[in-house]
Amino acid sequence: MAEKILKVSGLNVTLNNHKILEDISFEVKRDDTLAIIGPNGAGKTVLFKCLLDLLPYTGKVEWAKDAAIGYVPQRVNVEKDLPLTVEEFLKIKEKSRDKIEDILKQVGFGSKSGPDLMHRGKRLMATRLGVLSGGEFQRVLIAFALLGKRNVLLFDEPTSGVDVSAEETVYALIERLKNETDLTIIFISHELGVVYQHAASVLCLNKEKVCFGPPREVIDKENLRKLYGEDVHIHHHNDHF
């Protein structure tokens, strides 16, 4: 039996006298991929903040002792003229230039053995964040989250605001990172095709736990109705990408 890296038991969250999450329990195995789905306002991002110990809650959130958690937020708005380069941003977390370049190569910039990383003919490290495309900026955010030898990554909707071609790249990147390193992934998504293809388990959330288990076993019309309050057509996409 695979070792658990996370166990959540009886989690409750109340904010401003409103019950946001009620009696949430689930487990995540080491090196597994868990998707969290549910409608807007279901408490998905609140759950993430509890996992990161950023919000008060009752119940238990138990991480394995060696869990080192990185977080990629849903959206970070960067002004085009923000005078902050890729290097300056990543050096907030890691001072070693070599380690920064290694991580940037790991997330798909340049080659593993190539010379200095380049971006459209210019040195990537000197490129301002505001001129990166959505997919490029997301990879920089993933690099930031990975710095410090993280073995758990939390993604709040990895492809929100990113075009479809970049979306393929982000999920392919997540798969490659998992294959190359000891990495557990927990991500929020609205795309059932993505969940079927990339998640070993799914947590269906609508302020309470509606279902939990392998996607093809627990995502059915009845549970989707409980989640979204209407009939949702199920498409088992094997060719989503």
For 181-221, what is each residue's pLDDT tens digit? Answer: 889 999 999 888 889 989 999 999 999 999 999 999 999 99
Partners of 201 in the β-ladder: 34
Residue 81 placed within a domain:
no
13 or 168: which leads in pLDDT: 13
Q: Is the pLDDT of residue 174 over 90?
A: no
Residue 103 placed within a domain:
no
> Phi and psi at residue 204, in whole multiples of 5°?
-90, 120
Strand order of the β-sheet with 69-72 is: 69-72, 152-156, 184-188, 33-37, 201-205, 209-213
Q: Which amino acid is at 129?
A: L
Q: How many residues does the chain have?
A: 241
Mean pLDDT confidence for 67-83: 86
117: left (phi over 0), alpha (psi -120 to 50) or beta: beta
The lowest-confidence range among 24-28, 224-228, 234-238 is 234-238
The lowest-confidence range among 69-78, 103-112, 162-171, 200-209 is 162-171
How many other C-beta atoms are found inside a 10 Å radius of the C-beta of residue 97?
12
Residue 209 placed within a domain:
yes
SS3 sequence, the chain?
Answer: CCCEEEEEEEEEEEECCEEEEEEEEEEEECCCEEEEECCCCCCHHHHHHHHCCCCCCEEEEEECCCCCEEEECCCCCCCCCCCCEHHHHHCCCCCCHHHHHHHHHHCCCCCCCCCCCEECCEEHHHCEHHHCCHHHHHHHHHHHHHCCCCCEEEEECCCCCCCHHHHHHHHHHHHHHHHHCCCEEEEECCCHHHHHHHCCEEEEECCEEEEEECHHHHCCHHHHHHHHCCCCCCCCCCCCC
Residue 32 placed within a domain:
yes
Q: What is the CATH number of the domain that holds 204?
A: 3.40.50.300
Strand order of the β-sheet with 18-29 is: 18-29, 4-15, 58-63
Residue 39 placed within a domain:
yes
What CA–CA distance (Å, rounded) separates 81 from 77? 12
pLDDT of 45: 93
Burial class (CB in 10 A: 0-12, 13-18, 19+), 153: buried
pLDDT of 122: 62
Residue 135 placed within a domain:
no
Q: Is the pLDDT of residue 138 over 80?
A: yes
Query: Domain count of the chain?
Result: 1
Q: Is the pLDDT of residue 57 over 80?
A: yes
* pTM score: 0.86
Domain span at residue 191 reads 4-68+152-158+183-228
pLDDT of 112: 46
pLDDT of 100: 93
Residue 64 placed within a domain:
yes
> Phi and psi at residue 39, in whole multiples of 5°?
-70, 170
Residue 198 placed within a domain:
yes
Task: Give the percent of the chain with pLDDT over 70.
Answer: 85
